[in-house]
């Protein structure tokens, strides 16, 4: 009898092991198929202005659903600013840059992407947090701690133009795709959310520069930063803000980093070459600003 039980347990273990292995194989095949489809789709998915193709494995519908959910959760956990003047400034500048972004997308042959954006701008009362971010779908948060560095509407347009540029270039999808590969064994977003919901949501927030809410921040690559700087200058210039003001803003941020690295610089590294690169982008952006004057 004991021998029969051992054999039975052994068969059951073997069966369970085979089932687990089959599930893993199916997940792997599904993921490889997803990767193949994503690489094929890259011929149509390119970054506006630079025309660079990037890795985008996450379906837009899933990304937007999670974006809207997480944004609502951040607002529920945060204290919105009661300063009507500052809140009005954030929303006014944000809406101007957003309209500029939509016009830019249409003129650059990405008019279909405009429907994906449901713009919302909120100012969060937190003087200790020097940060701002934009999630897919145009959900934007600005923390009051960054306002002393923006020093008015034009400086704020630098920040919002840069953050919205990240969204337009779909840097978030690239970063989330890379993060799923590196941290979740290549799971699809929907699978990761069902199996590891908490870890996946924390990873998502860190990827989009909103990780201050979960105690984690992931920096953008120099490539993404350079693209966001260039596109952001175009957006703010087209919105009627002087793109030359981006230089003193980054100089102020650079000085601030000598005492303590703000959250904004943790996610947006600012090498010394950044200002020089921005100077090289200005001749491209200035004509748009001059047309608005």
Determine which one of 102, 107, 115, 163 is catalytic.
Answer: 163
Please say if 163 is a catalytic residue.
yes
- String of DSSP letters for the chain: -HHHHHHHHHHHHHHHHHHHHHHHHHHHHHHHHHHHHHHHHTTT-B-TTT--B----S-HHHHHHHHHHHHHHHHHHS-B---HHHHHHHHHHHHHHHHHHHHHHHHTT-GGGGGG---EEEEE--TT---EEEETTTEEEEEGGGHHHH-SHHHHHHHHHHHHHHHHTTHHHHHHHHHHHHHSTT--HHHHHHHSHHHHHHHHHHHTT-GGGTT---PPPHHHHHHHHHHHHHHHHHTT--GGGHHHHHHHHHHHHHH---HHHHHS---THHHHHHHHHHHHHHHHHHHH-
| Residues designated as active site | 163
């Amino acid at each position: 009898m004991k021998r029969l039980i051992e054999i039975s347990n052994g068969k059951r273990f073997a069966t369970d092991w085979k089932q687990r292995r089959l599930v893993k194989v199916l997940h792997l095949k599904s993921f490889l198929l997803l990767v193949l489809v994503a690489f094929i789709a890259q011929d149509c998915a390119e970054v506006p202005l630079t025309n660079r193709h990037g890795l985008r494995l996450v379906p837009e519908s899933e990304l937007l659903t999670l974006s809207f959910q997480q944004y609502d959760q951040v607002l529920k956990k945060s204290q919105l600013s009661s300063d009507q003047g500052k809140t009005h400034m954030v929303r006014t500048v944000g809406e101007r840059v957003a309209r500029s972004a939509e016009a830019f997308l249409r003129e650059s042959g990405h008019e279909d992407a405009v429907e994906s954006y449901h713009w919302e701008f909120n100012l969060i009362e937190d003087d200790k947090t020097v940060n701002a971010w934009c999630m897919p779908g145009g959900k934007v948060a600005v923390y009051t701690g960054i306002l002393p560095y923006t020093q008015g509407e034009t400086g704020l347009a630098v920040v919002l133009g840069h953050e919205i540029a990240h969204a337009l270039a779909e840097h978030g999808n690239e970063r989330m795709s890379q993060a799923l590969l590196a941290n979740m064994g290549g799971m699809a977003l929907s699978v990761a959310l069902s199996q590891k919901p908490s870890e996946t949501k924390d990873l998502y927030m860190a990827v989009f520069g909103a990780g201050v809410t979960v105690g984690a921040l992931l920096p953008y690559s120099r490539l993404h930063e350079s693209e966001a700087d260039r596109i952001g200058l175009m957006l703010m210039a087209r919105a009627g803000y002087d793109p030359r003001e981006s230089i003193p803003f980054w100089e102020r941020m650079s000085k601030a980093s000598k005492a303590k690295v703000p959250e904004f610089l943790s996610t947006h590294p600012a090498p010394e070459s950044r200002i020089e690169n921005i100077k090289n982008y200005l001749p491209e952006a200035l004509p748009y600003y001059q047309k608005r004057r």
